């Protein structure tokens, strides 16, 4: 009896293995690594590339950057990626149709970046475009999303001079946002963007541009909910990062107080930034208190005149830097609040909600109208700890 | 066309008369007659033998000694018939004829000459003043052994079986006319290996003596290390024909009550004709003979045995094998090396941790490689996935086939190197290194990453202190690979669970194989488990083995 049990158990296992096993097996080298996706407006519909669709229009051009394996590994060829593209309306449908152009199946687990042209964003909401990427199980939350004013396809066609795979190169640029005050890179990947949609917040994505052989990340594309509003320049992004306290390091420049026409540069090491909402007698206002500690990073004027060993002079510099930072913050406030009327990443709203929940309850419905009128008071305190020189 | 004339077909017997049935019957009756005759002869011979024996011996004994030397000699000769290496030495002792029987080459002849033959032969003068009542002394073996013989270890034997065993063990048997007893004189001396260094368990610092094949020498090696009278040695004879001595060693006031009895019971239950190696005993006494894991620790180091005895465990030494068995055996015990105690505790702890990690690697690494490459490349960081894919782009086989091929090659090399004569194994190593290291990779059959994976796995399994455990790891690798190739990482996890559950349920003489590692009540054992604390702090014996006295310090020892 026991023997029969054993045999039947074994049979069941064998049948399971034979009938169900290996269904998911596909060797690593038999997959097409998609490293980057570009989404453009469908400019010209090429006959062979596309397909006949029963519904909709040819709205997008989706281009995929696919990895080409270097044979042997020793002699790496000039470009190690190639581009396949297709036009249509459903991204999923386009991707599946694109299998007709490939010998190996497309595989999205290692997508690094999604580059979206603003021409598309002016017509369609961001969430509509990203829906496929958030829904599909293969996509990762840490995919970077960039917005460009030019053609997105040409950006993923870019061949990095370092011979890295293009998608990896593009994705790694934003990892340096900690040291680059001109790029607002924290929490801008696919996972966070979807989270912002779910929270009904505004989205801020990094802007990428290409000219000739240069690809550069700087400034931000500003969204109200998922609707594209416009671009914020580097100075505004710097101001925003300082205001929200998301910067790790920063470089602040100004004219030397003693030798105008020559610049003195402050390098931020550590800061303490508090953006606080206040409600007094029904009036909402914000204060931001910043204390910054840092270094003299560069000094271009005459050293004998700009004597950093003189404590008196350092005090003058500290006050001047504080003024400069204040100016920067007010510039950012003007760009976002007055010009675009967007609360970037809904940070002001969430602060109010956290600190003054009762007030938030009252004002949340008319927040969009109210927000541009709320004043912001800035106080900055700069402390220069090191001067970076010796006698 | 010419017709070939065909001869008429006839019976075979017509052509060949000796093939007829009648002839065959005749021959058969002749044969039957001869068989009958031979049985009659056999019976007659048996009668003759019985007559020779004269006295009815009990059924368990082949014969009993008589007081006539010639009869005894005949009886012994019938037992030792065709044993060319048995010596019968007749001589005259105090006027009586005496016989010394011994196995040539097993008995020390010079010792016998000096201590037996010479004193006995010098008793020729019947009225020697020193031994006035000589005839009285010569009436019993006891008297002879007490007054005349110079041998150190003698025993009087009345039973024939014991006498035969004594001779076969290498003792000399003395028979004297008129005495119906034998005297066994211990003079064993045979060719044997000297005590050498531990070949298979070499350690860097610490003693390097190892057991050899002789049981007595092996026990001496342990006795010499401890002057403890509580170390008990119990000797059993196992094997229907070989009658191999098996010694059970334990410390009487430490060992867990019942353990020795259990070991003894299991060894006594062994029903076999021969015991040539201790591994045979091991297979008979383990709880789960189908498990790949070794459930008995084997060692050739006396210091290791002694350490185990003082942890309350039991040692089993088998005559003829240097590999000594220690029970109970757990995963923890197999993962320790005597070297851990000769180096600094922090370093030993790190080494032990590494060993545990490598045990894991040795089983699962190829499986993880196959499942990640075939099913879950998304688990790899992108840059790594790209470089792995580029390495694999040239190889035509699926990763599972590749891994199996590589494992097979590895096993073949290991087997070749072990089996080949020592001079050739170097050549085999070279061929292996060239073939796998360069040619196979260059030919694009196997990708270099897999070579690295398999090499790491092999090296990991070699780092196990116990060879049998290393074999278990090697064995387990293959089912894991199959699981990984069918179910991916899911299969690997199932495999890990199965192995862990099996190891937890495995019991060696009542102790859980791996369960001790997770048992919170055995917390004090952790001091000398995956890590090793300084000796000052190791004041307790492992609770796991249930020693009667848990403190190593002296007070309660009594």
DSSP string, B438-475: IIIHHTTSS-HHHHHHHHHHHHHHHT-S-HHHHHHHHH
User: Least CB-CB distance to A67: which of B373, B378, B386?
Assistant: B386
Residue B223's region, left for phi above 0, alpha for psi from -120 to 50, else beta, is alpha
Enumerate the residues of chain A whose CB falls inside 8 A of the CB of residue B377: 28, 31, 107, 109-110
Fold topology of A246-386: GMP Synthetase; Chain A, domain 3 (3.30.300)
Location of each CATH 3.30.300.210 domain in chain A: 246-386
What pLDDT, on a 0 to 100 scale, did the predictor assign at position B130?
53
Q: Is the pLDDT of residue B398 over 60?
A: yes
Phi, psi (degrees; rounded to nearest 5) at A335: -60, -50
Q: Are B377 and A109 in contact (CB < 8 Å)? A: yes
What pLDDT, on a 0 to 100 scale, did the predictor assign at position B3?
65
* Cα A51 to Cα A82, A100, A106, A181, distances in angstroms: 21, 10, 18, 45
Enumerate the residues of chain B whose CB falls inside 8 A of the CB of residue A21: 486-487
Enumerate the residues of chain B whose CB falls inside 8 A of the CB of residue A31: 377, 389
User: Least CB-CB distance to A168: which of B383, B394, B485?
Assistant: B383
| Of A119-123, A236-240, B160-164, B499-503, minimum mean pLDDT range | B160-164
Q: Mind listing the pLDDT tens digit for each residue in A133-188? A: 999 888 889 999 999 999 999 999 998 888 888 999 999 999 999 999 999 988 89
Q: Is the pLDDT of residue A379 over 70?
A: yes
- Best residue in B383, B486, B495 for a mutation probing chain A (most A CBs within 10 Å): B486
Whether B421 and chain A come into contact, CB under 8 Å, resolves to no
DSSP B114: I
Place of tokens 């005090």: A315
Pairing status of strand B507-508 against strand B511-512: antiparallel
Q: How many helices (H) and strands (E) does chain A have?
A: 12, 13
User: Least CB-CB distance to B488: which of A24, A72, A73?
Assistant: A24
Q: Are B398 and A25 in contact (CB < 8 Å)? A: yes
Query: pTM of the entire structure?
Result: 0.82
Enumerate the residues of chain A whose CB falls inside 8 A of the CB of residue B391: 73
Q: Are A109 and B391 in contact (CB < 8 Å)? A: no
Whether B443 and chain A come into contact, CB under 8 Å, resolves to no
Contacts of B358 by beta carbon, 8 Å cutoff, 6+ apart: B460, B461, B463, B464
Whether A27 and chain B come into contact, CB under 8 Å, resolves to yes
| Of A231-245, A292-306, B44-58, B133-147, minimum mean pLDDT range | B44-58
Enumerate the residues of chain B whose CB falls inside 8 A of the CB of residue A70: 390
Residues of chain A numbered 70-89 and touching chain B (CB < 8 Å): 70-73
How close B155 gets to chain A, by Cα (Å)? 55
Whether B375 and chain A come into contact, CB under 8 Å, resolves to yes
Q: Is the pLDDT of residue B123 over 90?
A: no
Angstrom distance (rounded) from CA A244 to CA B504: 55
How close B329 gets to chain A, by Cα (Å)? 29
Q: Is the dihedral of CA B166, B171, B172, B177 positive or negative?
A: negative
What pLDDT, on a 0 to 100 scale, did the predictor assign at position B409?
87
What pLDDT, on a 0 to 100 scale, did the predictor assign at position B207?
86
Pick from A205, A182, A206: which is nearest to A328 by CA?
Answer: A182
Q: What percentage of chain A has pLDDT greater than the value 70? A: 97
Please give the residue of chain A at the shortest CA–CA distance from B393. Answer: A29
* Cα B148 to Cα B69, B116, B138, B188, distances in angstroms: 20, 8, 10, 20
Q: Is the pLDDT of residue B556 over 50?
A: no
Please give the residue of chain A at the shortest CA–CA distance from B491. Answer: A21
pLDDT band, very low/low/confident/very high, at B430 (cuts 50, 70, 90)? confident
Q: Are A25 and B488 in contact (CB < 8 Å)? A: yes
């Amino acid at each position: 009896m026991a023997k029969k049990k054993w045999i039947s158990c074994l049979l069941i296992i064998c049948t399971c293995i034979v009938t169900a096993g290996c269904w998911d097996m596909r060797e690593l080298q038999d997959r097409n690594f998609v490293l980057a996706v570009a989404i453009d407006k469908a400019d010209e519909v090429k006959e062979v590339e596309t397909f006949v669709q029963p519904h909709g229009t040819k709205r997008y051009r989706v281009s995929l950057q696919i990895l080409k394996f270097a044979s042997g590994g020793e002699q790496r060829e000039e470009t190690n990626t190639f581009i396949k593209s297709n036009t249509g309306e459903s991204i999923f449908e386009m991707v599946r149709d694109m299998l007709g152009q490939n010998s190996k199946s497309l595989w999205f687990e290692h997508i690094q970046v999604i580059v979206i042209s603003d021409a598309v964003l002016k017509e369609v909401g961001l969430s509509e475009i990203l829906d496929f990427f958030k829904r599909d199980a293969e996509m990762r939350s840490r995919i970077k999303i960039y917005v460009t004013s030019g053609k997105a396809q040409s950006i993923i066609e870019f061949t990095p001079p370092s011979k890295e795979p293009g998608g990896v190169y593009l994705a790694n640029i934003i990892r340096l946002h900690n040291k680059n005050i001109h790029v607002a890179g924290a929490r801008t990947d696919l996972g966070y963007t979807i989270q912002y949609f779910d929270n009904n917040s505004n989205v801020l994505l990094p802007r990428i541009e290409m000219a000739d052989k240069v690809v550069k990340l700087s400034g931000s594309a500003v969204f109200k909910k998922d609707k594209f509003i416009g671009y914020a320049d580097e100075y505004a992004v710097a101001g925003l990062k300082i205001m929200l306290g998301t910067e790790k390091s920063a470089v602040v420049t100004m004219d030397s107080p003693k030798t105008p026409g020559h610049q003195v540069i402050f390098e931020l090491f550590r800061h303490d930034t508090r953006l606080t909402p206040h409600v007094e007698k029904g009036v909402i206002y914000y204060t931001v208190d910043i204390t910054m500690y840092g270094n003299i990073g560069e000094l271009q004027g005459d050293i004998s005149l700009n004597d950093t060993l003189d404590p008196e002079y350092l005090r003058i510099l500290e006050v001047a830097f504080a003024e400069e930072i204040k100016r920067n913050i007010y510039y950012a406030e003007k760009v976002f609040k007055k010009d675009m009327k967007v609360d970037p990443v809904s940070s002001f709203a969430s602060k109010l909600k956290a600190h003054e929940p009762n007030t938030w309850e009252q004002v949340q419905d008319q927040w969009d109208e109210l927000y541009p009128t709320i004043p912001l008071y800035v106080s900055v305190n700069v402390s220069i700890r090191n001067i970076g020189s010796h006698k | 066309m010419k017709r070939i004339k065909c001869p008429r077909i006839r019976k075979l017997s017509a052509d060949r008369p000796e093939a007829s049935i009648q002839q065959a019957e005749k021959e058969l009756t002749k044969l039957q007659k001869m068989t009958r005759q031979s049985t009659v002869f056999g019976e007659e011979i048996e009668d003759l033998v019985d007559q020779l024996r004269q006295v009815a011996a009990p059924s368990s004994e082949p014969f009993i000694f008589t007081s006539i030397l010639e009869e005894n000699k005949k009886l012994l000769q019938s037992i030792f018939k065709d044993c060319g290496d048995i010596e019968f030495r007749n001589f005259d002792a105090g006027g009586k004829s005496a016989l010394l029987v011994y196995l040539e080459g097993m008995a020390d002849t010079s010792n016998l000459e000096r201590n037996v033959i010479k004193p006995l032969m010098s008793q020729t003068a019947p009225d020697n003043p020193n031994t006035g009542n000589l005839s009285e002394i010569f009436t019993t073996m006891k008297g002879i052994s007490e007054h005349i013989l110079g041998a150190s270890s003698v025993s009087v034997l009345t039973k024939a079986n014991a006498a035969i065993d004594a001779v076969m063990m290498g003792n000399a048997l003395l028979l004297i006319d008129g005495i119906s007893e034998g005297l066994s004189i211990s003079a064993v001396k045979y060719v044997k290996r000297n005590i050498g260094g531990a070949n298979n368990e070499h350690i860097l610092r610490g003693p390097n003596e190892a057991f050899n094949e002789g049981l007595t020498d092996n026990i001496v090696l342990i006795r010499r290390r401890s002057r403890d009278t509580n170390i008990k040695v119990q000797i059993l004879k196992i094997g229907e024909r070989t009658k191999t001595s098996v010694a059970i060693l334990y410390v009487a006031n430490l060992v867990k009550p019942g353990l020795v009895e259990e070991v003894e019971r299991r060894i006594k239950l062994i029903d076999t004709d021969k015991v040539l190696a201790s591994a045979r005993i091991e297979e008979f006494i383990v709880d789960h003979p189908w498990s790949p894991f070794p459930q008995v620790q084997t060692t050739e180091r006396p210091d290791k045995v002694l350490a185990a005895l003082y942890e309350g465990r039991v040692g089993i030494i088998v005559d003829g094998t240097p590999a000594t068995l220690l029970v109970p055996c757990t995963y923890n015990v197999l993962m320790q090396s005597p070297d851990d105690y000769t180096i600094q505790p922090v370093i030993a702890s790190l080494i032990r941790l590494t060993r545990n990690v490598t045990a894991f690697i040795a089983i699962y690494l190829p499986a993880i490689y196959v499942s990640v490459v075939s099913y879950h490349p998304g688990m790899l960081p992108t840059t790594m996935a790209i470089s792995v894919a580029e390495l694999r782009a040239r190889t035509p086989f699926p990763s599972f086939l590749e891994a199996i091929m590589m494992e097979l090659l590895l096993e073949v090399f290991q087997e070749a190197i072990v089996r080949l004569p020592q001079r050739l194994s170097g050549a085999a190593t070279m061929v292996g290194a060239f073939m796998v290291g360069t040619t196979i990779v260059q030919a694009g059959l196997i990708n270099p990453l897999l070579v690295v994976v398999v090499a790491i796995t092999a090296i990991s399994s070699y780092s196990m202190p116990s060879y049998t455990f290393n074999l278990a790891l090697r064995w387990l690798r293959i089912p894991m690979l199959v699981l990984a190739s069918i179910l991916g990482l899911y299969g690997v996890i199932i495999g890990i669970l199965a192995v862990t559950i099996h190891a937890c349920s495995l019991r060696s003489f009542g102790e859980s194989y791996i369960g001790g590692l997770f048992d919170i009540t055995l917390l004090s054992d952790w001091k000398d488990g995956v890590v090793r604390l300084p000796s000052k702090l190791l004041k307790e014996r492992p609770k796991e083995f249930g020693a009667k006295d848990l403190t190593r310090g002296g007070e309660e020892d009594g």
